[in-house]
């Protein structure tokens, strides 16, 4: 792992805001999630906060009319989708904005992705799917919080907080895999993303954060975090707050404000 050189300032700003680490004191803990959107970026968070950030670093507020926190945001083609507490869904397409109250039976929604034209949302108690982002159907149930979901062209993987993964090739039928049981860990899962042919899984075990990678979602290898710029290093003091694929490599944002890459 090495510190990224010359990374776009906008990506730094986005990661820090999503981590609740904006330099402006009054902005702390506002943002919950961030996502690329073509040449721009999106960030969402507390009290219906939704912003678009252009490549010049200008922040443009998107009015949602939502008071509940928004936890996840994604853009697919021309449709922007944000999901949040109490099943709140915000849709913006073709210049029109639509609010969907109490989707997923009013369960909190934590993350969303589009997989083969099907919208998927990770929620309290399961995974929900929708063809139009308006009418939602539960396609997988389970106890606990389904926190994060990531998709390749062929596979979708959803991470449950207590160390269980769910895999699907169509977004409707899911296979359950107990990551903790299989690998003999006790990880609390935090985030999963996809980029460059690999899924990246971030979790915490005994106050130590760990990152695993997989090409298939069923077999995982730990990415040992003991090197910095080619030299042995102890990164245990860093707290990872989120990962983003920037089109070339994974950027890991730290609570300290540092940005690390997985080359």
**pTM reported for the whole predicted model:** 0.88
* pLDDT, tens only, 142-156: 999 999 999 999 999
Q: What are the angstrom distances between the C-alpha of 162 and each of 109, 179, 180?
A: 17, 9, 8
Closest CA to 109 of 126, 125, 85: 85
Summarize the confidence of residues 126-133 as an average pLDDT: 97
Closest CA to 158 of 126, 130, 205, 181: 126
* pLDDT, tens only, 207-254: 899 999 999 999 999 998 887 787 888 888 888 888 888 778 888 888
4-8, 127-131, 160-164, 226-230: segment of lowest average pLDDT: 4-8
Q: What is the DSSP string of 1-63?
A: -EEPSS--HHHHHHHHHHTT--SSGGGTT-EEEEEEETTEEEEEEGGG-EEEE-TT--EEE--
Report the DSSP pairing between strands 70-76 and 59-61. unpaired
Matching residue, tokens 């945001």: 73
Q: What are the angstrom distances between the C-alpha of 206 and each of 58, 185, 187, 240, 254?
A: 40, 10, 8, 15, 18
Q: How confident is the model at residue 12 (pLDDT cuts 50, 70, 90)?
A: low
**According to DSSP H, which parts of 116-261 are helical?**
179-183
């Amino acid at each position: 792992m090495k510190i990224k050189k010359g990374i776009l300032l906008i990506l730094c700003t986005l990661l820090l805001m999503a981590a609740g680490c904006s330099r402006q004191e009054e902005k702390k803990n506002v943002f919950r999630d961030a996502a690329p959107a073509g040449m721009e970026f999106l960030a969402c968070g507390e009290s219906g906060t939704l912003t678009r950030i252009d490549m010049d670093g200008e922040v443009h507020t998107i009015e949602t009319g939502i008071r509940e926190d928004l936890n996840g945001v994604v853009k697919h083609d021309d449709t922007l989708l944000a999901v949040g507490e109490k099943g709140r869904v915000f849709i913006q397409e073709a210049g029109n904005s639509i609010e969907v109250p109490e989707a997923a039976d009013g369960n909190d929604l934590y993350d969303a992705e589009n997989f083969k034209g099907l919208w998927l949302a990770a929620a309290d108690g399961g995974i929900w799917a929708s063809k139009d982002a308006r009418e939602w159907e539960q396609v997988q149930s389970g106890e606990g919080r389904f926190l994060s979901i990531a998709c390749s062209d062929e596979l979708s993987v959803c991470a449950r907080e207590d160390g269980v993964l769910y895999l699907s090739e169509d977004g409707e039928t899911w296979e359950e895999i107990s990551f903790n049981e299989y690998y003999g860990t006790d990880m609390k899962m935090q985030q999963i993303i996809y980029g460059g042919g690999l899924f990246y899984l971030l979790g915490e075990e005994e106050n130590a954060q760990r990152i695993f990678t997989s090409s298939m979602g069923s077999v995982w290898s730990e990415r040992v975090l003991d090197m910095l710029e080619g030299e042995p290093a102890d990164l245990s003091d860093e707290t990872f707050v989120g990962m983003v694929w920037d089109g070339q490599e994974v950027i890991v944002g730290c609570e300290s404000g540092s940005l690390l890459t997985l080359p």
